[in-house]
Structure formats: C-alpha cells, structure tokens
Amino acid sequence: MFGHYFTVALRNLRGAPVASAINVITLAVGLVCFVTAYAFVHFWGTAEQYFAKAPDTYALTVTLRNKDNGSGFTNMARAPEAAAENVRVDYPAIKVSQVVIIDRATMVAGGGQAVRLFGVAVDPQFLEIFDLPFVAGDASSVFAAPRSVVLTRDAAGRLFGADNVIGKSVVIGNKVDATVTGVIDAIPEPSHFGRSASAGLPFDLLASRDVLDAIRGNLTPAANVFGAAAGWFQFGSAITYLYLPASGGVSSESLAAQLQGFAARHVPADLLKSNDFSFGLVPVSKLLSGTDDFFDTGLSFEAVLLLLGGLVLGVACVNYANLATARAARRVREIGVRKAIGASPRQVAVQSLFEAGLLVAASLVVALAAFVVLQPLVKALLGAEVDGTFFASLDVWPALVALAIAVTLAAGAYPAFALSRVRPVTALATAQARLGSPLFSTLLVAGQFAIASFLLITVTVISLQNADMRRTALRAIPDPLLIIENATRTTNVAMTTLRERLTALPQVRSVTEVQGTPWESLMMTTVSETPNPQGPGKTVVTRPVGFDFFDVFDVALVAGRVFDREHGEDLPRPPAPPGGAPGAALPGGAPGGAAPAAGAGGASPPPAQGSAEPPQPQNVVVDTAFAAGLGLTPEEAVDKLLYRPTPPFPGAVQARPMRIVGVVQERTFSFFKAPVTTAGAMYTLANDLGLTVARFAAVDVDAALKGIDGAWKELAPNVAIRRRFLDEVFESSYAQYVRISRIFGTLAVTAFAICIAGLFGMATFVAGRRRREIGVRKTLGGSTSQMIRLLLGSFSRPVLVANVLAWPAAYFAARAYLNQFGQSIPLTPWPFVASVAITVAIACLAVAGQTLRAARTTPAEVLRHE
C-alpha cells in the first residue's frame, strides 16, 4: 500500500515541479526559523548540564521596591553580598557559595604582560558545587593557601605563553600579589560561565575571597559607613549559589517558602522602612536565559522566540495548504476516477497527506542544511553557536520527527480533506473545479498576511524607536568623547593629576568626571519640597558629576549657573565620620546586563545622628523636566530648596537640604525606564568618581589618542589603559535593542517572502481557472483594465482583512516595547497605515504578471472550447 502511495506521490510531484519547488522552499524557510528558535531554546534549556550537581543547585534571587517611588527590580539573581552569610546561619546544612565580580576588566599583570580579564572572587565551596574542567592543579586544594588564583587556559596563555604557570605570581588590580594555583579549560557550553552573549559570568580568573578583600582594603570599610546595612546595598556583583541535594532534607519548595521571612529576620529595620525586600530561588540552569519577563509581556524570551518562529512556520504551512488546494483542483478528474473504481475518502486523504509528508521531509533536510550554513549569521543575530550542542543531543532527533509530523498535518490536512470530499459524478464532468470553501481559503491567505503585517508593524515601531534613541543619545556633541575607565582606587593615579595631564594636551578641549558610564547605569533618589521626613516626595534621576561636565557633554544652561571652582560651596563635604551615613546607589544588573538600577543617590552625606550643627545645603543643578515637575519655570526654580523626605540609611535622622543653583536642558543618558513618578534629573558635584571623560577635536583623533595613551603610560606604566569612546559605550548598551530589531526584521522579511511566493503560486492557479470567466466578461463588454481591477481586487481583499486582524496584536506588542524606555516615540497611526500600503502593494506586485496575462485573454481562445 505505501509503495503505491509513494509511486503516485512522486508522479504527482514530477507533474508540477514549479509548485513542488515553491512548497519545498517556503516550508524549508519556515522550518529554518522554527528550528533556529528551538535550537536556542534547547541550548538554554540544557545549560549547566556539564556540572553534575547543577540539577540540585539554585541561585538566591532578590526583589526590591522603594516604597516612595516604586523603583527597583524583580527576581534579580544578584542578591546582596550580606545575604550569603545569613543563609549559612539560618540553614547550616545547606552548602552555600558566593561569587563576587571583582571587575569585568580586572587589571592583571604577570609574565611581563598586563591584560584585562573578567575576574571573580569565590570561596572554596564554589569548587565543591561546580566541578570545573581543571587541566592543572587540584580542585580540592587550589584555594588552600591565601591569595590564590585559578586562570583559564586562554588567560594563562595571554599572560605566560605556553609555560607551566602553576606557582607563578600575578598582580591583580595593580595592588594585590597572588599565586597561580590552577588552570581550567574552557567551560563547556551552554553555561552562564560560557562565552555566549547571554552568559552572565564569563570569567577568565577565579581568585580566593581574600584577594577581593585586599583590593577593597584601601576603601572606607563598609561597616564603618553603613553600620548594620553593610552589604545590603552591594547589588549587581554577587551571585549566591545554594546546593540542595535530594538527600539533604531541604527541598527547593520548602526553602522558597521559608525565605518569605528572610528579609524580616536579617535586613536592617531602617532599610525596611523605605524598601520592600523579598527573596526567592531560581534554578541555576535558568541563569543563562535570564529570569525576567520579556519586556513585561509575562513571557520568557524563550517563549517569545518559539512563538515568533512558530508564526513564520505557520505562514509556511498556510501557504502550502492554499497552494496544494489550488493545485488539487486540476486533479479532480483523477480523484473522481479513483473513487469510481473503489477508492475510499480515507485512502484519498492518506494519499494527499503522504505527498505532504514527502515534501515536508525534503523541506526539513533543506532546512537543517541551511541551519548549519547560516550559523555565522545566527550567531551575529542571537549571540551563540548552537549547531554543535543541537545535533549532539539525542533528544533533538525525536523532536525533529515530531515536528515533521506536526507540520505535515498542519499543512496537509486541509488539502487532504478537500480532496476526500470530491464527488465522482461532479469530478468526471469537468477537468478542474474549485475545491474547499472560498471563505476558508480567503481566511487562510488573510492569516498569512496578518502574521506578516504584525511583524512588519512591530519591526517598524522598534526600528523607529531605536533610531530615535541613537539620534537623541549622540546628538549635540560634535567632538569625540573618550571615557577612561581606570579608577583611582586601583591605579593610584589621582583624578586631579590625570585631569591636569590631559588638559595640557593640545588636542584635548575639556575634561570631566562621571560616576557611571552613560546608558549602563541609573541612579535615583527621592526628594521633597518640605523638610518633613514623611512629606510627599518625587523621584529624580541622580547623576554625580565633576567640574566641566556640562561643557564636555554640551548640556546647555537655561537658568542660573552650573558648578564652578569659584564657588567653594559647590564642593562636596568631607565623608562623614563613623556613624554617619553617606548617600549611595544601588547598582543593578541581571545576567546579561539588562536590568535597571534603583536606589538612593547623592554625593554628600547627611549629618551623623545626634549632630547639633544645622545641615548646610548641598548645591545641585537640575534639568528643565525636573523644574517643570515642580510646576516652576527654570528661572523660578533657581535658589529653591529641596529635601530628602526619608533618610535612606541607618543613623541619618535629619534630611539634608539641597539648593538648586542652575537649570540645564534635559538630556537622557539611560535607556532604562524610571518610575512613573520620576520628575527629571538632578546633578550633584562629587570627588573621586572613577571615570574620566576627555573631549577633543574630531579632526585630530589619532594624535589625541596617542597623546592620551602616552600621558597615561607616564603616570601608570604598569597599568594598561582602558578607554572607550562614548559612541562605543552607546553601541554596547544599544546592542540588545539592535538584536531585537534584527530578529523581528529577519522574521518579517521571511514571512513576506513566503507570502509572496504563495500568492504568486495562487495567482498562477486562480488566474488560469478564471480565464473562461474573463472570456465571458469580455464578450459582454468588459475591458482589460476592468479585468485587471477585478483580479487585483480579489487578491487585495484578504490582505486588507489581514491588516485588520493584525492591528490589535501589533498595537499591544509595540506598546509593550515602547513602555520600556524613559523617552519613547509616540505610537501614531502611520506604522499601521504603512503596513496596509506595503502589504497591498506587495500583494499586487506578486500577482501582477499572472493578472495581466489573464486579463489579456482573448474570448475566442476560451469560448471556442464550449
């Protein structure tokens, strides 16, 4: 029986090579999109499989919300550093380990080389949980001695070449001597320790915890500054791992329930007055793909990726169903004969499904070959090579077989049903007839274009928003800005010294300092117009800056003045003595670096508890949005006093006033969306901010870089300079949005290509079928132009219906994307109108040739056969 099905299927496919080729190509394109999406979901789903204990290992998560302004983050897998020790106290039977990022570009010198490495500090328990691939050294003893480090094979080669590195010395952070005690191979992918774009800890160096303590040693001890709050403000740099073996007696469910009271037991009460803390768990295998919703959709990125791939594959399946049904209309006499000699409807349907299965199998082979060939493009698009792990997994092949069966049924069910319904008497009376429901066929075409229109509208809005971000972020600065990221605390080069050397260079026009790189960090604080600590407050984005910031970044003054050296009162006050409470930020960042930060910002401390001295106002500069939020003009805002309504740190009982000395134009230096209560930005003057920014002439970039590098080498010959242009910083942060735009753009183009191919094939069959109708119409006086309008109208109607179906979903998708940004473009009707115009134009162009040929039909050519 199957031999007969196979023979008939091959004969039918050879009889319509063009239609068969279109079906194979379009199905293959749809399958490539879905297989790629599935390969990435599989890649992320098999994360950490190299580590034997990974299935029982979890990361501690934290959710924090500021009670005044709602700022914060949800389920961030970077819990405060203080949490790890408290978990050990509460649950001594649980193996707990913490990894703390030293620096993503840690200065490491050794073997006559100075390089930048992603460095992390770990405790010995880390190697008990994660069995790293050691090639030199013993995992059980590499951290037995103080100040020990483990290097990756690549990092060891960069520092020492091919030599045996065990026992060699390295200098970390330009101040701590350490000994290499082990070397590990590359972490097997997929892993959040790996090298894919979404890996959160792609470390090159593991250091014992005392190395980190020594690097931090020259800073004011956190305990002296924050008191009991020490470590609870250290977000974004630590991951706390908990190993919960099945035999340990503590399940993840029971521990998650017990963690509901963890914050009340350990977080200082002063912090809980203004912040809501909650803790939870996430499997370590989820760290690679991330734990957050995709743009607040309630869906993970894996689900969104599978959904998009499935939509394109759905377009391909609908395309096959339409083409196969249209082509089957020419086979009705064959089906009638087969039924007349005894073929049952089930056998006719099975024959049709068998043909569909052969085409799907051929398409899948083509799709898998294309998937391998396109891996460089896929890596650029999604940030990982997945073909190796995909084909090596045994569970992939049953999934591909299931996919082929599902696509066969989805694509071939309707044509099979239509053919099985053919009546022999009707079929034998005509050479061809229309099969299936005309309405259902129209809806299928509309469904195709609805998906394509949805993707087109979405990618249009995403592209417009991304273009607006680029335009507004880099506008008004005609000269290059270079950010030097060598902090004084690690280089021992004072910022004043660096500033003097840089300003002496003829190419450098001005120099300033900033605390965080633009677009990579966000600080917020709450201010009030009343000194009452419980008074109503407004959230404001806070930017600690140095002198000349507004000149370097071309931020225009609107009213008052900016910070200058002639006003000594602008300078920040000295740090508070022990017991005081300086302002601080809560830097954020989920694995992959996409989460915004939240916290209390400020450069100068409030007075210590019990201080009798009236606090002196801190001079600040605000932008026009902040002044407008107060209901004031820029001129009216100058000299106005502001207050912090709720002291954010223990021991601070009196809010320090702030005086507005100037108002500048509004400028955005972050993609992150601040809370809805945010009212503009506030600039504070601060010392030792960590980052130096130099502005120099665009006509002499090479000479400026050479001079800056030379000046740095004289100041710190043993420390490699780390510098980035401002537009490089922007592009680094902007990359994730570019990736999203490319994903939607690629899928939209793919969907349209399938729709065009399908519509072209449909036009071929439909125009041929309607030639007799056109001959009759022309005999009755119809013109060629009228026939063209008639045919184009019949093809355009499903496209118009498609846009109506696509608009609601596209609106919500576009709105969800725009809601992520502090400054977003307005969502106007134009992307929706453009979608109608583009899809109708594409549809008309796709069928123009066949339509014109059918419209030119001479009545005598068809009516003579009647």
Is pLDDT above 80 for 220?
Answer: no
Asked whether the CA dihedral 632, 634, 636, 640 is positive or negative, the reply is: positive
Nearest Cα to Cα of residue 362 among 402, 408, 324, 326: 408
Locate 153 and state its tokens.
């094979």
Mean pLDDT estimate for the chain: 79
Q: State residue 145 phi and psi, 5-degree precision.
A: -95, 150
> Within 10 Å of residue 786's Cβ, how many Cβ atoms?
14
C-alpha to C-alpha distance for 620 and 604, rounded to whole angstroms:
11
Alpha helices by DSSP H, 474-494: 488-491
> Computed over its alpha carbons, how large is the radius of gyration of the chain?
33
Three-state secondary structure of 544-581: EECCCHHHHCCCCEEEECCCCCCCHHHCCCCCCCCCCC
CB–CB of 452/755 below 8 Å?
yes
Cβ neighbors of 532 (< 8 A, separation 6 or more) are 645
Q: State residue 14 phi and psi, 5-degree precision.
A: -70, -30
Residue 66 Cα distances to 71, 242, 531, 601, 674, angstroms: 5, 27, 20, 13, 12
Phi-psi region of 519 (alpha: psi -120 to 50; beta: other; left: phi over 0): left
- The residues that bridge with 684 in the sheet, in sequence order, are 544, 620
Percentage of the residues of the chain whose pLDDT score is greater than 70? 76
Query: What mean pLDDT do residues 701-717 have?
Result: 88
Nearest Cα to Cα of residue 263 among 66, 67, 57, 86: 86
Query: What mean pLDDT do residues 498-506 have?
Result: 90
For tokens 């992307």, the residue is 831
- Taking each helix axis from N to C end, the angle separating 771-779 and 784-818, rounded to the nearest 10 degrees, works out to 130
C-alpha to C-alpha distance for 272 and 262, rounded to whole angstroms:
12
Locate 732 and state its tokens.
């680094």
Indicate the SS3 state at residue 418: helix
CB–CB of 853/766 below 8 Å?
no
- Taking each helix axis from N to C end, the angle separating 726-769 and 375-382, rounded to the nearest 10 degrees, works out to 120
CB–CB of 640/630 below 8 Å?
yes
How far is CA 195 from its chain centroid? 16
E strand residue ranges, 23-133:
57-66, 72-76, 95-110, 113-122
Q: State residue 673 phi and psi, 5-degree precision.
A: -90, 120
For tokens 């966000």, the residue is 522
C-alpha to C-alpha distance for 106 and 469, rounded to whole angstroms:
31
Q: How confident is the model at residue 67, as a pLDDT?
A: 75
- For the chain, give every domain's residue range: 1-47+296-436, 54-286, 443-465+734-866
Residue 492 Cα distances to 107, 173, 349, 449, 828, angstroms: 13, 10, 80, 62, 53
**pLDDT level of residue 612 (50, 70, 90 thresholds):** very low
> Within 10 Å of residue 368's Cβ, how many Cβ atoms?
18
Report which secondary-structure segment, H or E, holds 149: strand 148-152
Phi-psi region of 690 (alpha: psi -120 to 50; beta: other; left: phi over 0): left
Asked whether the CA dihedral 17, 18, 21, 26 is positive or negative, the reply is: negative
pLDDT in tens, 428-467: 555 455 555 666 767 777 777 888 888 889 888 888 888 8
Query: What mean pLDDT do residues 664-678 have?
Result: 70
C-alpha torsion 746→751→752→754, nearest 10: 120
Strand bridging mode 481-484 / 691-696: antiparallel
C-alpha to C-alpha distance for 417 and 409, rounded to whole angstroms:
11
Q: How confident is the model at residue 607, as a pLDDT?
A: 40
Q: How confident is the model at residue 494, as a pLDDT?
A: 83
Within 13 Å of residue 193, how many CA atoms lie on the same side as its CB?
25
Residue 199 Cα distances to 239, 452, 535, 748, angstroms: 13, 32, 43, 28
C-alpha to C-alpha distance for 431 and 767, rounded to whole angstroms:
16
- The residues that bridge with 147 in the sheet, in sequence order, are none
Three-state secondary structure of 739-752: HHHHHHHHHHHHHH
C-alpha to C-alpha distance for 652 and 611, rounded to whole angstroms:
10
**pLDDT level of residue 668 (50, 70, 90 thresholds):** confident
CB–CB of 583/601 below 8 Å?
yes
Is pLDDT above 50 for 625?
Answer: yes
Report the largest interatomic distance among the alpha carbons of the chain, rounded to a whole angstrom: 111
**What 8-state DSSP symbol labels residue 427?**
H
Report which secondary-structure segment, H or E, holds 136: strand 134-136
Of 272-276, 327-331, 411-415, the least confident: 327-331
Three-state secondary structure of 614-657: CCCCEEEEEEHHHHHHCCCCHHHHCCCEEECCCCCCCCCCCCCC
C-alpha torsion 754→760→761→762, nearest 10: 100
- Taking each helix axis from N to C end, the angle separating 771-779 and 726-769, rounded to the nearest 10 degrees, works out to 70
C-alpha to C-alpha distance for 71 and 77, rounded to whole angstroms:
17
Nearest Cα to Cα of residue 418 among 430, 395, 434, 402: 434
**pLDDT level of residue 295 (50, 70, 90 thresholds):** low
Is pLDDT above 90 for 722?
Answer: no
How far is CA 862 from its chain centroid? 59
C-alpha to C-alpha distance for 136 and 153, rounded to whole angstroms:
9
Q: How confident is the model at residue 116, as a pLDDT?
A: 87
Asked whether the CA dihedral 40, 45, 47, 49 is positive or negative, the reply is: negative
Q: What is the amino acid identity at position 8?
A: V
CB–CB of 554/523 below 8 Å?
no
Query: What mean pLDDT do residues 781-786 have?
Result: 70
CB–CB of 674/822 below 8 Å?
yes
pLDDT in tens, 767-781: 555 666 666 666 666
C-alpha to C-alpha distance for 842 and 838, rounded to whole angstroms:
6
Locate 81 and state its tokens.
């550093």
CB–CB of 104/118 below 8 Å?
yes
- The residues that bridge with 694 in the sheet, in sequence order, are 482, 511
How far is CA 749 from its chain centroid? 21
The pTM is what? 0.76
CB–CB of 389/40 below 8 Å?
no
Percentage of the residues of the chain whose pLDDT score is greater than 90? 24
Burial class, 828, CB count within 10 angstroms (exposed 0-12 / middle 13-18 / buried 19+): exposed
C-alpha to C-alpha distance for 193 and 132, rounded to whole angstroms:
10
For tokens 């010395």, the residue is 169
Specify the length of the chain in residues. 866
pLDDT in tens, 827-859: 899 999 988 888 888 777 766 766 666 666 666
C-alpha to C-alpha distance for 295 and 287, rounded to whole angstroms:
17
Is pLDDT above 60 for 610?
Answer: no
Q: Which of 80-84, 620-624, 699-703 has the highest mean pLDDT?
A: 620-624
Query: What mean pLDDT do residues 786-790 have?
Result: 71
pLDDT in tens, 329-375: 666 666 666 767 767 778 778 888 888 888 999 999 999 999 999 88
C-alpha to C-alpha distance for 600 and 647, rounded to whole angstroms:
9
Of 552-556, 823-827, 828-832, the least confident: 823-827
CB–CB of 480/725 below 8 Å?
yes
